[in-house]
Structure formats: C-alpha cells, structure tokens
Amino acid sequence: METMLYKNVYLNEVSTIAGPYEKKGPLGSYFDKTYDEFYFHKKTWEQAESKLIEESIDLVLRKLNKTRFDIDVHIGGDLLNQIVASNYAASRLKIPFLGIYSACATSMEGMIIGANMVEAKLTKNCLVTTSSHNNAAEKQFRYPVEYGAVKKKTTTFTVTGGTCAYLSREKSMIQIDSATIGTVEDMGEKDAMNMGAVMTPAAASTIYKHLKNTKRDISYYDLILTGDLGIYGEKMLKEFMEVEYRLKLKNYKDAGTMIYDLDNQPVFAGGSGPACAPLVAFSYVLEQMKKKELKHVLVVATGALFSPTMTNQKLSIPSIAHAISLEVVQ
C-alpha cells in the first residue's frame, strides 16, 4: 500500500510564484510571477505568505478558464503553526478544504492525496497548494532575521514562494503515474541547522521503496529530484544509497541546489521549505518535460518533522519523504 499506481490522473495545470531571492536565481525566468520584496503589499510576512496561496490559485484558475465553483476540493499546507497561511487563504476562497502538514514534504503529500481522490472518482478534480516564506519561517523555527544570528554553512535558506497544481481525469501531456508514501525516519540527528543530514535517510528510504515496489531500475528515471537536501545532503544521499541499498543514484538533482546561484547568493547550503520542491518541479522541470527532454521524473519532497519545542528538549529530529512519478504521455 505504500506505493500506488494510477491509470487516470493527470497534471493539467500549475502555477508558480516566487520571492526576490528566487527571482534572482538561475530559474527566475521560469516562474509565472515574482516579487521584489518580502511583504507583497501586506502588513506581515504571514499575511504575505497567505497571499501567495491565493494568487497561485487565481493563476491556475485563469489559465484553465475556470472559477472556484468548478473545483471539488482544495488540498494545501505550509510551515507555519496550525498551517495558518493555508487556513486564512482557504477561508477567503470558500473551496472545500483539506489542510495537511508534512513540513517540506507537504507538496507531494498533497499530490498523493489528490491523485488518490481523483483516481478513485471521489472527486472530478482538485487543487493542491503549498507555500513557504523565508522571514516567516526563520522567525518561527530559528531566529527572526533582524537578529542577524550567525548560521552554520550546513544551514539551508527557506524558499519564499507559492505553488498550485490542478489534477483531474482529463487527459493531458503529463500523467501522474505512481506515488510512494514515505515512512518517518529518525537516525538520531539533533542539529536543526543541518536539515540535509536529518532528511537524507527518509529520502533514501522512499526512493528505494518506490523502485522496489514498481520493479523499476534506477535508470528508468531521466531525473530524480529531491526537495531540499542542499549541498551537503545531496552528497550524503548519494553515499547513503550506495552504502545502505547498493544503488548508485543516476540523473539526480536536488531542488535546493538548483533554485539559487550558490556561488553568488548568500543562501548557505541551498534552498529549503515546502515551496522549494514544487517551485522547481512545476517550473523548470515541467518545462523540460513539455519539450520532451525529460520523460520520466520522480519528485521526492523531503521534510523535517520538528518544532523548536522538541529541539529545545534535546530530542532528535524525525523526517519524511513522499514521492510522485510524473510521465510524459502525449
């Protein structure tokens, strides 16, 4: 049951909205919309993040020439306490809403839930949203950015962005072929400034189980994209896969190392946050799929399941990874 195969679920449309650092990164031109500052004409960062979700939904609906009344269900989540960015956006949109949380793996959790509902004909369609905001997340999980706290080189930089995906049974070029639900892994890592080390075991476990359950060789995929392991986590995953599963990762990249110019932007070990994986997957990667330069892509969103309360109690940090397989079918 951890891996599901789909026959009639398609990714019909997406939207991507990004902040100022992402705009200046190497993928800036691929996003639908970008901002030059962090407030987005709102009073607080949390309100700004909620606006990202609303705008990402509006963008998708405009692309589809649909209204919110055409949508059966909205599935979404974010990093903030009680997923308030998503909840406040949902309160204004009035679409039936399922709020979810898997930290930075939330995007693919939402895709899996939506794909299951569409495949089972429980809904005709759904919207899946995800967001994160650098300043809002830093304030909640580490230190307010105004403090200017010193950070380690292994620290990742929370991506500011919002994404929306529309799934249905209506055939399109991109099909959701299969999905693997991850298990929570905990290897005893306690450093909240080293998310790559925390999430590597979960990413490795999900990739291995997906390949095993689908009976596919690792070379089947033109690209395996992890969510936000960063520079050090990317290297650790390659080593972990070889040692633990005797698998050599091929055609592998991490969204956290792709979204920024690591040599010229002050982002430490790379990008992180719930929006990191879908911003890269639904912009640059999807564009390559539409050009048929990539035909089989496995997106593995990774999440660290911790809170400041638990880390202050000196507990280790568990993690999870969920995977969605995207295929070009037309």
User: Where are the chain's structural domains?
Assistant: 3-168, 174-328
| CA gap 167, 177 in Å, rounded | 12
Q: Give me the pLDDT at residue 139, please.
A: 82
Query: Quick one: pLDDT at residue 144?
Result: 66
Q: Where in the chain does DSSP place strands (E)?
A: 3-5, 10-18, 33-34, 74-77, 97-99, 125-132, 157-158, 161-168, 174-180, 223-226, 252-254, 271-272, 296-304, 319-328
Distance CA 262, CA 251 (A): 20
* DSSP state, residue 283: I
Residue 23 has pLDDT above 70, yes or no: yes
Intrachain domains 3-168 and 174-328 with the same fold: yes
pLDDT for position 233: 97
Question: Mean pLDDT for the chain?
Answer: 96
- pLDDT value of residue 197: 96
Domain 174-328 class, CATH top level: alpha beta
Strand partners, 33: 17
Closest CA to 203 of 165, 230, 222, 176: 230
The three state secondary structure string of 51-96 is HHHHHHHHHHHHHHCCCHHHCCCEEEECCCHHHHHHHHHHHHHCCC
Q: Given this model, what pLDDT does residue 8 score?
A: 97
Contact between 222 and 251 (Cβ < 8 Å): yes
pTM check: above 0.95? yes
Contact of 255 with 228, CB cutoff 8 Å: yes
How many angstroms separate the CA atoms of 322 and 245, rounded?
18
Maximum CA extent, the chain: 52
Task: Compute the distance between CA of residue 163 and CA of residue 151 in angstroms, rounded to an integer.
Answer: 28
| 3-168 carries CATH number 3.40.47.40 | yes
Predicted local confidence at residue 250, as pLDDT:
87
pLDDT at 65 over 70: yes
Q: Give the CA angle between residues 71, 76, 80 to the nearest 5°.
A: 150
Average pLDDT over residues 315-325: 97
The mean pLDDT of 183-191, rounded to a whole number, is 96
Would you state the pLDDT for residue 147? Answer: 67
Q: What is the CA radius of gyration of the chain?
A: 18
Strand pairing report for 10-18 and 33-34: parallel
Quick one: pLDDT at residue 152? 87
Is pLDDT at 42 greater than 90 in this prediction?
yes
- Helix axes of 45-64 and 134-141: crossing angle, nearest 10 degrees: 140
Query: Is the pLDDT reported for residue 183 higher than 90?
Result: yes
> What is the reported pLDDT for 150?
74
Q: Answer for the pair 287, 174: CB distance below 8 angstroms, yes or no.
A: no
What's the rounded mean pLDDT across residues 230-238?
Answer: 97
If you average pLDDT over residues 217-242, what whole number do you get?
97
Helix (H) or strand (E) holding 230: helix 230-245
